[in-house]
Amino acid sequence: MSDSDNNQIRIGLLSCINIVRKLSRAINLSPNATISAIATTSSIEEAKSFTASNNFPINTKIYGSYESLLQDPDVDAVYLPIPASLHVEWAVRAARQGKHILLDKPVALNVSEFDQIVEACEFYGVQFMDGTQWMHNPRTAKIIDFVKDFEIRTVNSCFSFAASESFLKNDIRVKPGLDGLGALGDAGWYTIQAVLVANNFKLPKTVTALPGSVLNDAGIVLSCGALFDWEEGITATIYCSFLANLTMEITAIGKKGTVNVRDFVIPYRETDAAFITSTRGCLSEHKVMTELPQETCMVIEFARLVGEIKNRGAKPDGFWLSFSRKVQLLVDAVKESIDNNLEPVLLSGR
Amino acid sequence: MSDSDNNQIRIGLLSCINIVRKLSRAINLSPNATISAIATTSSIEEAKSFTASNNFPINTKIYGSYESLLQDPDVDAVYLPIPASLHVEWAVRAARQGKHILLDKPVALNVSEFDQIVEACEFYGVQFMDGTQWMHNPRTAKIIDFVKDFEIRTVNSCFSFAASESFLKNDIRVKPGLDGLGALGDAGWYTIQAVLVANNFKLPKTVTALPGSVLNDAGIVLSCGALFDWEEGITATIYCSFLANLTMEITAIGKKGTVNVRDFVIPYRETDAAFITSTRGCLSEHKVMTELPQETCMVIEFARLVGEIKNRGAKPDGFWLSFSRKVQLLVDAVKESIDNNLEPVLLSGR
């Protein structure tokens, strides 16, 4: 094994679902990470063919259970793209085995579940990051640079896509026993992140669901909107939906400037990403070159943090746990308001 | 007088305030309209210098009172850029004299006042139009063409600008005795129009002001937001403010497509105006050439409707009265909700 291989963070993947294709490509493109193992709860043969057709390293170990992968000492970190209903169990188990965790959103079914993950990560000293990729696009850092000077007054963020009939029947995101939080835990997760990003990660005072939510027969949110407000008269609205045309929008308006992003979740192009600012009547389109796809930027940053811990004895960076917890808290509050006839939910003390 | 002059609608202007400069240029550029008179309640000398420096026709009559202008049989129509508190009085007087009316927004201090204008216009058979220019930009018709096929689910519209200290102290828009409705009757008027345009001019079921309103010491709205919802689960949010950076945004998201306009009130350029649609993953930027500035398009359309009445015995086109009344109703409802601790206001029966 060469020195450079030695320094790569070895990632194990739990399950062979579709999103793993994208993530395995991202890991392959990351100089500081490598795929070392994959676990499946179904057929080993299928997993073999999955690894072969997705350019996994030839020596990738294939495990027939999640637990056996977690016990492999040659795995530094795990990516968990499993349904939210399984997150507490498997994230806590991974932390116990000292595995650093890249966890898909929604990070849990609710914040009290997520707090078990927080405790385990803190107790076992493992790095946590949720798998939302847009946060790692270099564009996002630039946007944060602008909004912090703009004295934001209001934000509107929308993420919707028109799901297929089969998605609306079968996807884990519309099943109560699986992801459970529907469009709110999926598309809504991003819009809530956008609202927090625009407000310097500060939690609002109050969360109120807007009328017009659409729920399926099992009570899963297919479409909803919400209002957030801060003590200083700052407001934000979100809209998330599986039932409307693809839209991925942030408009953040401040005293001193406005930011507009039209493709914040997945940029139209992999090679660059744009956003617009206006300040004092001056309109600028900013184009940020992205040498690597944003999911690769995410893996590189995750592996960098894990490397700091593994190789230099650093402590985990708590930002990502704290950020995911805030988003989960707001997701829960929107759901609570929907369930309580759109009553405002006060966040103080949560 | 040539034949073409004979066919021009002769417009009288009530007052010499700043906006009249823009409108007089628009009338001068309109082949079917001409300025025939102006009335001032202050100095005639100043009015003379105003007409000279703004390229008014050399034979423009200058009146020392609004009433004398209204009695001039050589005036077909009047433009009333006077404060909203004077609208009922002067619009009704103009209608009694058979003058067609181009009235600045907000059209009245409240809908019951506006209903007096509606009655007078209908009784005396005069054409009414409110002076919001963006409605006449050829781009707006194209946008309407798109949204009607998109099955709109939600709309967000924002119009804000950072008013100067002197505006916030002295402008008629922040004075209770004058425009009275503040940012809501001014910037908010456009955003509410945008919401109605995107929803096929259908009134919502409920109107709810959002938290975060800013009022001045006299109780005038300087900044606010509101939520509109329709029976079909359709929602819209607006944000209007004198206290935030210039933003003029519409995002309308439907089942089948999304429209985004970033400069809907006053396009960045006079010569063309753009908007973006996306449908089924296909993003298009539409550029609509505008041979004439949008305020000229407005004057031409107003004069065309007046000409149909004057020269061909047509009836007034009731669309504009009806549209302005809807906008005023929604402005009133937002104000009512602000005044009632953000309680939802039901519109049925209004």
Mean pLDDT of the A25-45 span: 95
Closest CA in chain A for residue B156? A156
User: Where does the pLDDT of residue A16 fall: very low under 50, low under 70, confident under 90, or very high at 90 and above?
Assistant: confident
Q: For residue A32, give the nearest of A289, A266, A309 by alpha carbon.
A: A309
User: Which residues of chain B lie closer than 8 angstroms to A206, CB-CB?
Assistant: 211
| pLDDT for A124 beyond 80 | yes
**DSSP classification of residue A263:** B
In this complex, which of A235, A244, A268 lies closest to B253 when CB atoms are compared? A244
Is any Cβ of chain A less than 8 angstroms from the Cβ of B216?
no
Kindly determine whether residue B268 and residue A283, on different chains, have CB atoms separated by under 8 Å: yes
Is any Cβ of chain A less than 8 angstroms from the Cβ of B241?
yes
Q: What is the DSSP string of B30-91?
A: -TTEEEEEEE-SS-HHHHHHHHHHTT--TT-EEESSHHHHHT-TT--EEEE-S-GGGHHHHH
CA angle A332, A336, A340 (to 5 degrees): 175
In this complex, which of A150, A234, A243 lies closest to B255 when CB atoms are compared? A243
pLDDT score at A132: 97
Closest CA in chain A for residue B150? A245
In this complex, which of B227, B245, B278 lies closest to A253 when CB atoms are compared? B245
Is any Cβ of chain B less than 8 angstroms from the Cβ of A244?
yes
Q: Sheet containing A33-39: give its strands across.
A: A61-63, A33-39, A9-14, A77-80, A100-103, A128-130
Is any Cβ of chain B less than 8 angstroms from the Cβ of A337?
no
- Residues 6+ positions from B313 with CB-CB distance below 8 Å: none
Is any Cβ of chain A less than 8 angstroms from the Cβ of B213?
yes
Give the Cα separation of B60 and B73 in Å (integer): 14
Characterize the bridge pairing of strands B61-63 and B221-229.
unpaired
Chain A: closest CA distance from residue B19 (Å) = 20
User: Which residues of chain A lie closer than 8 angstroms to B158, CB-CB?
Assistant: 154, 156, 251, 253
% chain A with pLDDT above 70: 98
pLDDT score at A306: 98
CA angle A235, A239, A243 (to 5 degrees): 170
Is any Cβ of chain B less than 8 angstroms from the Cβ of A346?
no
Give the Cα separation of A95 and B166 in Å (integer): 60
Give the helix/strand (H/E) hosting A169: helix A165-170
Indicate the domain borders of chain A: 3-133+295-316, 134-292+328-346
Interface test mutation site (partner A, options B146, B147, B154, B343, max chain A beta carbons within 10 A): B154
User: Which residues of chain B lie closer than 8 angstroms to A241, CB-CB?
Assistant: 153-154, 253
Q: Are A127 and A302 in contact (CB under 8 A)?
A: yes
Kindly determine whether residue A268 and residue B260, on different chains, have CB atoms separated by under 8 Å: no
Task: Describe the crossing of helices A138-150 and A187-198 by its angle, rounded to 10 degrees.
Answer: 50
The phi, psi pair for B279, rounded to 5°, reads -140, 130
Kindly determine whether residue B150 and residue A235, on different chains, have CB atoms separated by under 8 Å: no
Q: Are B107 and B117 in contact (CB under 8 A)?
A: yes
| Per-residue confidence in pLDDT tens, chain B, 350 aa | 444 456 899 999 998 888 888 999 999 999 999 999 999 998 999 999 999 999 999 999 999 999 999 999 999 999 999 999 999 999 999 999 999 999 999 999 999 999 999 999 999 999 999 999 999 999 999 999 999 999 999 999 999 999 999 999 988 888 887 888 999 999 999 999 999 999 999 999 999 999 999 999 999 999 999 999 998 899 999 999 999 999 999 999 999 999 999 999 999 999 999 999 999 888 999 999 999 999 999 999 999 999 999 999 999 999 999 999 999 999 999 999 999 999 999 998 77
Spell out the CATH class of B134-294+328-346: alpha beta
Is any Cβ of chain B less than 8 angstroms from the Cβ of A349?
no
Task: For residue range A48-81, list pLDDT tens digits in order.
Answer: 999 999 999 999 999 999 999 999 999 999 999 9
Give CA separation, A200 vs A97, A254, B213, B225, B289, in Å.
34, 13, 21, 21, 40
Characterize the bridge pairing of strands A272-279 and A128-130.
unpaired
Q: Are B264 and B194 in contact (CB under 8 A)?
A: yes
Give CA separation, A137 vs A105, A128, A159, A297, B96, in Å.
17, 18, 17, 7, 64
The phi, psi pair for B223, rounded to 5°, reads -165, 135
Is any Cβ of chain A less than 8 angstroms from the Cβ of B312?
no
Give the Cα separation of A196 and A148 in Å (integer): 12
Predicted complex ipTM exceeds 0.85: yes
Other CB atoms within 10 A of residue B231 CB:
12
Kindly determine whether residue A210 and residue B229, on different chains, have CB atoms separated by under 8 Å: yes
Kindly determine whether residue A156 and residue B158, on different chains, have CB atoms separated by under 8 Å: yes
pLDDT score at B2: 43
pLDDT score at B4: 45
Counting Cβ atoms within 10 Å, is residue B340 exposed (0-12), middle (13-18) or buried (19+)? exposed
Residue type at A255? Answer: K
As a whole number of Å, the end-to-end CA separation of chain A is 48
User: Which residues of chain B lie closer than 8 angstroms to A227, CB-CB?
Assistant: 210-211, 227
Closest CA in chain B for residue A150? B245
Is any Cβ of chain A less than 8 angstroms from the Cβ of B158?
yes
| pLDDT for A293 beyond 70 | yes
**Structure tokens of A34?**
């490598």
> Do B134-294+328-346 and B3-132 have the same topology in CATH?
no
The domain B3-132 having CATH identifier 3.20.20.70: the answer here is no
**Structure tokens of A157?**
């963020």
| pLDDT for A4 beyond 50 | no
pLDDT score at A5: 53
Is any Cβ of chain B less than 8 angstroms from the Cβ of A168?
no
Mean pLDDT of chain A: 94
Give the homologous superfamily in CATH for domain A3-133+295-316: NAD(P)-binding Rossmann-like Domain (3.40.50.720)
Task: Give bridge partners of residue A159 from the DSSP assignment.
Answer: A240, A248
pLDDT score at B6: 67
Kindly determine whether residue A153 and residue B251, on different chains, have CB atoms separated by under 8 Å: no
User: Where does the pLDDT of residue A2 fall: very low under 50, low under 70, confident under 90, or very high at 90 and above?
Assistant: very low
Give the Cα separation of B78 and A52 in Å (integer): 78
Chain B: closest CA distance from residue A280 (Å) = 7
Q: In the CATH hierarchy, which fold is given to the domain comprising A134-292+328-346?
A: Dihydrodipicolinate Reductase; domain 2 (3.30.360)
Give CA separation, A77 vs A29, A91, A293, in Å.
17, 11, 21
Mean pLDDT of the A202-227 span: 96
Is any Cβ of chain B less than 8 angstroms from the Cβ of A254?
yes
